[in-house]
Amino acid sequence: MKHAFSVKIGPVGFRIGSDWRAPIERLAELYSGYPMPDDDVADFTVRLFAARFWRRFIRPAVTIGGDFVLPDAAPLPLAQALLAAEMGMNLQMALGQRRYLLLHAAAVERDGRALLITGVSGAGKSTMAALLSLRGWRLMGDEFALLDPATGLVHAFPRLVSLKNAAIGVVERAAPAHRFGPLMANTPKGDIRHLVPDAAAVAAMAVPARPALILFPSFGYAPVRRALAHSETFVRLTQASTNYVALGERGFTALTGLVKSVPSVAIDYPDTDSAISQVETVWAAL
């Protein structure tokens, strides 16, 4: 491919090739503090390409390719190429990661212990991770938490934090302008703006943490908390893992170990202030 960018995020190295220069320049700018893949060898490749050669120039549309692809992915307009690159990286992880058990969860760390925030799209994982990272927690990731079956430790995967719609304004009010990528309006997932992880998070991305609390937030309700039974947590986390089945017995060991050693709490919250306050309360009571 004509233009290429390589980056290491947490323990994973990526190489992103592109038919267009602009997205590569943008990625290089936003990920400028990050290291290169070990020995310059990427674990996964992502390709941003034009499905027909004329699609490079006429109503340019980015098709997402790579080591792993999904057949129903519609191409994105060139203006959203950054989103395409991010989706491409997520896809490689979701379908190809075998070393770590992948949990669809945000993770933040304090004093060597990790808080895992899990839930479907829209539950508020990325927003909460962003806000907590602006309040003294180390950001480990907003999309995937990597669980090592051998040690039970959580490893960071601090890619750009993906904020959607109303969350954009909430975080913009809390963080300086230079921390943000461009606003991408009207994408298939709504308006999106990326928050660049702070320098401390990037510098510490190879430092794992011991999971200490698993949170299941639900947005839009009066504040309420309840503890979850191990069995319920286990089943909900298998639904939140893209590679539990593929990891076989290692996945079983990792996940049973996690739910038996780490408490889980479900919280309902009406607004982000309530969510943050509930998190701090539950964490302090551990």
Partner 1 sequence: MSDDPSPTENEAGTTRRRALMLGAVGVSAIVSIRPALAQTNASVMTCEIPVPDAGRAGSAITADGSVVPAGTPGSFAANGRVFKAEDVKRALSGGQLPGTEYDTNRAYMNYIRKLQSGTSGFTCFASLQMPRG
Partner 2 sequence: MAGAIFRSARVETLRIDWLDDFTILYHRASGITHLLNAPAPEILATLGEAGMTVSALADALALEFDLPDLETDALLARLNELATAGLVSTT
**Shortest distance, CB of residue 101 to partner 2, whole angstroms?**
13
CA 4 to chain centre: 22
Residue 72 binds which of partner 2, partner 1, none (CB < 5-8 A, kind-dependent)? partner 1
71 binds, among partner 2, partner 1, none (CB under 5 to 8 A by kind): partner 1
Q: Residue 241 or 272: which CB sits closer to partner 2?
A: 241
**Min dist. Cβ of residue 71 to partner 1 (A):** 5
* 111 binds, options partner 1, partner 2, none, Cβ within 5 to 8 A by partner type: none
Cα–Cα–Cα angle for 275, 277, 281, nearest 5°?
115
What are the helix and strand counts (H, E) for the chain?
8, 16
Applying CB under 8 A, does 258 fall inside the site for partner 2?
no
Residue 39, by phi and psi: left (phi above 0), alpha (psi -120 to 50) or beta? left
Question: Tokens 């990597």, residue?
Answer: 146
Amino acid in position 231 = S
Q: Rule CB under 8 A: which of 116-155 touch partner 2?
A: none
Rounded to whole angstroms, how far apart are CA atoms 126 and 113?
19
Number of C-beta neighbours around residue 222 at 10 A: 8
Residues contacting partner 2: total by CB under 8 A: 14
> How far is it between the farthest Cα atoms of the chain?
60
Pick from 252, 227, 223, 224: nearest CA to 237? 252
Residue closer to partner 1, measured from CB, 31 or 144: 144
Question: Of 158-166, 179-187, 238-246, 274-282, which part binds partner 2 (CB under 8 A)?
Answer: 238-246
Question: What is the distance between the alpha carbons of residues 218 and 274, in angstroms, rounded to a whole number?
Answer: 12
Query: Least Å distance between CB 272 and partner 1?
Result: 29
**272: part of which helix (H) or strand (E)?**
helix 272-284
Site residues (CB under 8 A) for partner 2, limited to 34-73: none
Interface with partner 2 (CB under 8 A), residue from 220, 248, 273, 277: 248
Residues that bind partner 1 (CB under 8 A): 67-72, 94-96, 235, 238-239, 242-246
CA distances from 120 to 139, 200, 256, 264 (A): 19, 28, 21, 16
State the Cα–Cα distance between residues 102 and 117, nearest whole angstrom: 13
Using rule CB under 8 A, residue 259 touches partner 2 = yes
Scan residues 170-229 and list those touching partner 2 (CB under 8 A): 229
The single residue among 35, 68, 234, 283 that binds partner 2, judged by CB under 8 A, is: 234
> Which of 212, 44, 67, 246 is closest to 140 using CA atoms?
212
Nearer Cβ to partner 2, position 85 or 266? 266
In which order are the strands placed within the sheet that holds 76-77? 3-9, 12-18, 44-49, 61-66, 76-77
Residue number, 76 or 108, with CB nearest to partner 1: 76
Does residue 98 bind partner 2 (CB under 8 A)? Answer: no
Establish if 249 lies at the interface with partner 2 (CB under 8 A): yes
According to CB under 8 A, which one of 74, 136, 178, 231 is a site residue for partner 2? 231
Please report, as ranges, the residues that interact with partner 2 according to CB under 8 A: 229-231, 234-235, 238, 244-245, 248-249, 252, 256, 259-260
